[in-house]
Amino acid sequence: MIVSYHVTHVSAGGVAGLNEVISALERNADGRISSCGKVEEYLIVRTCNRFEAYTATDDGDSVKAMFEGLSQEFMPGDDGKSSFVLDDYSSIKHLFRVICGLESLIVGEDQIQHQIRDAYIKARADGHIGKRLSFLFDHALAVGKRVRSETSLNKGAVSVGSAAVELAESRLGSLEGRTVAIFGAGDMATVIAKNLIGKGPETVFVSNRTFQNAALLAEQLDGTAVTWDRMDETLERSDLVLVATSAPHPVVHVDNAVRAMEFRKDRPLLMIDVSVPRNIEPEVGNVPNVSVETMDSLQNIAMENVARRTAEIKDAEHIIREELAKIEKERSESEANEIIRELSLKFSAIKERELSMAKTRVRTSDPESVLEDLSRSLVNNLTSELYINMRKASRAGDWESCAAVRRLFGLEDD
């Protein structure tokens, strides 16, 4: 069966403080899962807004207990409010919704599909994936692709990066002619950069602790890379600052904002922090003429996004229902299909062996006699084990096996 464990921005009631929990789980969960003797396959998906683990097991109760232990250790006193465990159909349905972007902060966003695909590739390379999870995640990726090709769910502001740019425009108006700074050069910063293209900012600064990474991103924007130690100067010159680093602590402090604002002559500064945990000190928002928006500020845009996409969401959910029915049918038939495959291989080997002997005999013997012997030998070889095991079952009083043979070979009375 499939058992999955989830901590997300939805289950935790927001993104504030979520990254500390996710970081702790990321450091410890892999070891716990891999050392659990009941887990046969597993895959971990970690983003800034979610931590999810999918496992294949024959002992669901033990794996659920292991996951509950993780919650008790890393979310003490939470009483299961910020995490949840699913199994089989519910796990698969949740995965399909996640990969389609229906469970994302920004409904329909594409980034989650890439993140799940990368997690799948990594788990497979690490040897953590087997037949069952490969089957599941291959199907899930196909579902995500189908939803994005057959619906308009991923059109418009459908990522945290695009929502951040939309939020900036709602506060500042057009970004044309503005000076924009991006702190960070990772995945989220890159998404923001892509959404700035075409918005017409006059100047774009990109700053990162690793200057080379800042230079690479700045090149994509025809912008300017600046060193991290020039933060105050960068803040002073900017109208909009977008902070998207992977630092586990604030990187923009009150002192930075105060020094920058000394030279701005009351010119307002908008700062948007899309990092989890927050990379801008909360007190920065108290500095005169500085406005700070955070990931929680994007919730309103997220809600508006859902309202605009009601029809697309319904279409996506219809596709998910179709694909759930399909995968459940395939899963229910999988054991039978494996037996059929093994029987086919066994019967083919018998056929080839008997046919080879018959071809040798037919050169010197009567063809009719050879065919008669071939047919008799095939029947004997195909049924001998069946007859032996049926007699054993009968002697042992195993009437269920005998009845099953009747059903399988159509011998039941009308």
Q: Cα 338 from chain centroid? A: 28
Q: What whole-number distance in Å separates Cα of residue 112 and Cα of residue 282?
A: 28
Q: Is the peptide bond before 277 cis (omega within 30 degrees of 0)?
A: yes
- 382-387: list long-range contacts, CB under 8 Å, 24+ apart: 382/347, 382/350
pLDDT at 361: 86
2-154, what's its fold? Beta Polymerase; domain 2 (3.30.460)
pLDDT at 258: 94
The one-letter code for the residue type at 172 is L
Task: Look up tokens 């991290």; give the residue.
Answer: 228
Are the C-beta atoms of 54 and 91 separated by less than 8 Å?
yes
160-306, what's its fold? Rossmann fold (3.40.50)
pLDDT at 327: 93
**What are the residue ranges in the chain where pLDDT is below 50?**
none
pLDDT at 105: 78
pLDDT at 150: 94
pLDDT at 340: 87
**How far does the chain reach from its first CA to its final CA, in angstroms?**
37
HSE-CB of 21 using CA atoms within 13 angstroms: 25
Residues forming beta bridges with residue 181, ordered by sequence position:
205, 241
pLDDT at 332: 81
- Whether 48 is catalytic: yes
